[in-house]
Structure 1
């Protein structure tokens, strides 16, 4: 593929925009915040800043001989899960890595940004053409970590008794409640997955046919008000609503409400990126596990949709929902019926390969395929997801017991 000067300028602009947004998301944090870690599943913000820089070092500029000098130990400290790259620091211990410090990581990022800019502008045509798919993957990878920075910071701040705010100037999440309706689909043979053109992660391909029976999908997400009714009806105390592993989690973890909810004399409150706020009954419920979502759906006389059902109804370009750019950074009541935004939506689909799936060659082949076991698919993006990052075919995935993600649900039901 040939790249002219305008293409090069577009690549330079894209790299600068994504890399700058990562720094902007970390800017409200103190060095102490950036170093801290809340739990084994989360990572410090400093680690995210370093890891996304390591990615370009390891896969783009390093092979081209264009990397700037890196702090000592980065290849070991900031490798996430790439076995073919080499040994790596244990994930649960990332918060214990005090060196290199925040300032040194930021200096490395600035040097990497300058080197990336030079490479995009001046690399020989063949070298740039070879690197372009990896740069594109790196940018999409960085957008994933932008979301992870916010999830992990919320998890960290929610552990503090005072529930400090990440930002106090966020736009309001308030809005009117809306009755739930249903979108009917007559079923039949549909195609899902990403086509051959444009960027998609490997787990979104190949596009393939799926047979669907008639069904309906809710036209809004399950709300906090819906969830409060589930709680009031002993939803967390009724074992017949739960899968066996889910009920074990309820008892073991003493679940009684969504993650980050706190009961007070004034009612339920929740820790958000804006601090501790009253639970808004009209807003979509967030921070619930697959097990909780599945139990709620059974209680509501419905079920979770399959990912094929969700994608069959999702309009491929309907990205009018609440995303990172809205600067709300928490779920807001539905305004327009979009299937996208606010919270990632649990589906009933196990995370497994599509027919004909082939992982990429080399280390980047470890990106998604090796995780296709013991997880469920989520769709739609969240209020902390960059708008341009989502697609109708996008497949997020998490283990069913996890609750720290911005995850909620949308109901489905069978139709005669």
Structure 2
């Protein structure tokens, strides 16, 4: 090999080493963060499943590990011997291409394997993936890096689900236990006193580019392809709707007035099984509203963003106010124009304070323009947009093509992340989605209106 080619080879090898080491460090960080959440749990906590939509914490720990074993080790390590031959059946979620699985509503019946074996499983797969990455070369390494990145993003999604699923299970316990202690307030953005009235930030009409193209920084396939949309002029509220503002809706009979509600929402609100009169986890005690949190019971703070509401409730509130929910493209365009750093003043999973925070005090100079706040973190924001494919969308090939595309029916898009979302996981193009009656996530709302200009 000539000296020039040797230099190029060494440079390529060094570049590979940097990329692999960087991903390995992130791999370890994400896996450790997942496990740290469980350190204070009792053995019985790991098998709790309080409703079909939720999953036990132990299952989450094992499923996120199965993802790496199934798609990384079995895909790129010939001859890999599975940790246990039945784990593919136990911990597959919804991948029809992979094979049969335990029905979702029966996951809470899996007392075995116990948490000790699940932790051994995690350690074994984490070590095997780390070893494999150091051995792969060329195109095979590139493909493996892509799949591992999807696995890390997937595990961060489950980090949030572990919080919301266990919160729902604990809320049913008459002891009202806390999962973790409430950390002291530390955010300089926290303010006391009355919440400032909402200000609408106006946006001109225009033709805008939304979504992302393949080859940019990691995104899920449902965030693209990039395409152009026309938006009429609109105004977007500078902050999230607060609990105090939601109480006004309740006191005005908002839950009892069908003219504010979509037909399906009104039927769901009046369900005999679970009749809605307030957000999930709220309870009236002698005329005072309390709520159950990850940190135990607490009085409702009127200045904090309302959360744990369905799309139906969010839409009814907006109609009651004579306003509306934003479309997902209005939200995305506004977020891009605001800039992620400018809007990144919400609370995230890393704070370990799993409740939406108060909006920051405006810092604009007197007479200066207002800005959007709480775009990222605190509470997911319902949009009026149905979860559907973008123009020219095609799901990924193989089993991983089942990740997003097959759910594009009967759901609505949420944007922005929540207090349980890892900060590194969220971005302006990220599309979360849930059915219209889902309430157990940290879901809130931001109001929008047609332009007043």
Q: Same fold (TM over 0.5)?
A: yes
1:30–1:175 CA distance, 2 compared to 1 (3 A): farther
- 1:244 matches 2:256: no
TM superposition shift of 1:107:
0.4
Aligned: 1:362 with 2:398: yes
Question: How far does residue 32 in structure 1 lie from its aligned partner after superposition?
Answer: 0.5
The DSSP-based 3-state class of the residue aligned with 2:259 is: helix
2:49 counterpart (37, 53, 74): 37
What is the Cα deviation at residue 340 of structure 1?
1.1
Please tell me whether the aligned partners of residues 69 and 82 of structure 2 are also in contact (alpha carbons under 8 angstroms).
no
1:213-232 → structure 2 map (5 Å cutoff) = 213-232=232-251
CA contact (8 A) 1:293 1:346 kept: yes
Match of 1:332 in 2: 357
The secondary structure found in structure 1 opposite 2:395 is: coil
Q: Secondary structure at the match of 2:340?
A: coil
Q: Select between 153-162 and 242-251 the one with higher mean Cα deviation.
A: 153-162
**Alignment-derived partner of residue 422 in structure 2:** 386
Instruction: Name the counterpart of 1:205.
Output: 224
8 Å CA contact retained: 1:194, 1:393: yes
Choose which of 300, 316, 320 in structure 1 pairs with 2:345.
320
Q: Distance in 1 between matches of 2:149 and 2:112?
A: 30
Maintained 8 Å contact 1:189/1:209: yes
Q: Give the alignment partner of residue 302 of structure 1, picking from 320, 323, 344.
A: 323
* 2:167 alignment partner, one of 147, 154, 169: 154
Provide the rounded CA distance (Å) in 1 between the counterparts of 2:98 and 2:309.
Answer: 34
- SS of the residue corresponding to residue 96 of structure 2 reads coil
The 1:24–1:178 alpha-carbon spacing in structure 2 relative to 1, beyond 3 Å, is farther
Whether the aligned pair in 2 keeps the contact of 1:171 and 1:327 (CA below 8 Å) is: no
Comparing 160-169 with 203-212, greater Cα deviation is found at 160-169
Larger Rg: 2
Deviates more, 1:123-132 or 1:50-59: 123-132
Q: Distance in 1 between matches of 2:420 and 2:81?
A: 31
Aligned partners of 2:346 and 2:357 also within 8 Å: no
The 5 A counterparts of 1:45-194 are: 45-65=57-77, 67=80, 69-172=82-185, 175-176=191-192, 177-194=195-212
How big is the shift at 1:320? 3.0
Task: Tell me if structure 1 keeps the 8 A contact 2:345–2:360.
Answer: no
Render the CA deviation track for 1:72-95: whole Å, top value 9, x for unaligned: 411011100000000010000000
Deviation, 1:156, is 0.6
CA distance in 2, matches of 1:208, 1:236: 39
1:256 lines up with 2:277 in the alignment: yes
Q: CA RMSD in A?
A: 1.5
Please, which runs of 5 or more residues in structure 1 have no aligned partner?
none
Q: Measure the CA separation in 2 of the matches of 1:314 and 1:269.
A: 33
Q: What TM-score do the two structures reach when normalised by structure 2?
A: 0.89
Q: Residues 68 and 181 of structure 1: is their aligned pair in 2 closer, same or farther, counting only changes over 3 Å?
A: farther
Query: Any idea what the Cα deviations from partners look like across 1:342-376, whole Å, max 9, x if unmatched?
Result: 00000000000000101000000000000000000
Q: For residue 120 of structure 1, report the CA deviation from its aligned partner.
A: 2.1
Gaps of at least 5 residues in structure 2 are 1-11, 362-372
Count of aligned positions:
416
- Contact 2:164 2:441 (C-alpha < 8 Å) held by counterparts: yes
Q: Write the distance in 1 (CA, Å) between the matches of 2:402 and 2:312.
A: 27
String of CA shifts for 1:179-229, please: whole Å, max 9, x gaps.
211110011111111233110000000011110111100000000001000
Matches within 5 A, 1:385-404: 385-404=421-440
8 Å Cα contact 1:71/1:100 also seen in 2: no
TM-score between the two structures when normalised by the length of structure 1 = 0.97
Rounded Cα–Cα distance in structure 2 between residues aligned with 1:6 and 1:130: 17
Q: Is the 8 A contact 1:178 1:282 kept in 2?
A: no
Give how far 1:307 is off: 0.2
1:276 aligns to 2:297 (yes or no): yes
Distance 2:335 2:311 in 1: 21
